[in-house]
């Protein structure tokens, strides 16, 4: 992907794909993987490729090095932004695109996930943390607020009370507390993080792709609608699957005691 102007030989974002699983690594370890505009552009390139390829069924997102997942946005760029930048919301748009992708996503949080880094993890479907991981939304200390989806996604995950306390104080939440809050689904030793993330990705990739996509869609609207509308969405989604060859393959594989082979 695009090189950093300061280090032209090093890609800002690394991307690999193997056995149906793509891995996107934010690659600015010298800047704790801060999300400047160049990194955001490189992430867009990766998402373009993932959406175009039919052989990638899950995307794992992580950061280079052992200190940071993504330690926020680039403060120098933040200091130069004006009201129009806030209304355009480029980072919010990027993270919303990631969140809405049909391809399921797994965040492997290997260190500091602050500001835009925490929001990047929140935009993924599943979050797995290293024991060294810490989460924070410190923007109010800079006279701004989380604006890449943090106020909305965090509250949905951990409740309004926990989200309000995190945002208003900016405090760092260690991995084990993040697990108790429901911010992450698992905490593992640092050396096991990527293996656990890949294991989770493989478990997702082994299931029906359309079933996963529709499940993501219905879950996304679980808090946007009343219960009866949500149940209607659930019925509509499963009716599509009842008419799809994916259901036939899944049930046949079960009775034949073999792994399903989804296309």
User: Could you tell me which residues come within 8 angstroms of residue 194 by beta carbon, excluding any fewer than 6 positions away?
Assistant: 60, 62, 108
Which alpha helices (DSSP H) does 67-208 contain, by range?
A: 75-78, 83-88, 90-100, 116-122, 150-158, 160-169, 175-181, 193-205
Q: Provide the token pair at 170.
A: 């900016």
Which residues, 6+ apart, have CB-to-CB distance to 32 below 8 Å?
65, 67, 68, 70, 71, 72, 111, 112
Q: Which of 18, 139, 165, 234 is catalytic?
A: 139
Residue 108 neighbours by CB distance under 10 Å = 28
| Bridge partners of residue 4, in order along the sequence | 7
Catalytic residue among 10, 119, 220, 246: 119
Quote the CA–CA distance of 85 and 220 in Å, as a whole number: 27
CB-based burial of residue 250 (10 Å sphere; 0-12 exposed, 13-18 middle, 19+ buried)?
Answer: middle
Q: Exposed/middle/buried for 249, CB within 10 Å: 0-12, 13-18, 19+? A: middle
Query: How many helices (H) and strands (E) in the chain?
Result: 12, 12
What 3-state DSSP class applies to 135?
strand
Q: Is 119 a catalytic residue?
A: yes
Catalytically active residues, by annotation: 119, 139
């Amino acid at each position: 992907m695009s090189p950093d102007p300061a280090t032209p030989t090093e890609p800002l974002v690394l991307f690999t794909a193997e056995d149906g699983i793509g891995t996107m690594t934010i690659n600015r370890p010298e800047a704790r993987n801060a999300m400047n505009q160049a990194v955001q552009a490189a992430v867009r390139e990766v998402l373009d490729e993932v959406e175009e390829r039919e052989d990638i069924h899950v995307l794992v997102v992580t950061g280079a090095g052992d200190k940071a997942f993504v330690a926020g946005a680039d403060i120098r760029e933040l200091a130069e932004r004006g009201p129009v930048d806030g209304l355009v919301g480029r980072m919010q748009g990027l993270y919303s695109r990631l969140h809405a992708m049909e391809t399921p996503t797994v965040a492997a949080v290997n260190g500091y996930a602050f500001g835009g880094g925490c929001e990047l993890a929140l935009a993924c479907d599943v979050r797995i943390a290293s024991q060294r991981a810490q989460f924070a939304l410190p923007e109010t200390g800079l006279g701004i607020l989380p604006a890449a989806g943090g106020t909305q996604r965090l509250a949905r995950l951990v409740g309004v009370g926990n989200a309000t306390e995190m945002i208003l104080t900016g405090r760092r939440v260690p991995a084990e507390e993040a697990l108790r809050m429901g911010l992450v689904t698992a905490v593992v030793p640092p050396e096991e993080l990527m293996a656990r993330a890949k294991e989770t990705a493989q478990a997702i990739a082994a299931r029906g792709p359309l079933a996963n996509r529709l499940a993501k869609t219905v879950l996304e609207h679980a808090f946007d609608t009343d219960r009866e509308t949500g149940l209607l969405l659930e019925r509509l989604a499963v009716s599509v699957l009842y008419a799809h060859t994916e259901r036939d393959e899944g049930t046949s594989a079960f009775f034949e005691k073999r792994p399903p082979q989804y296309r």
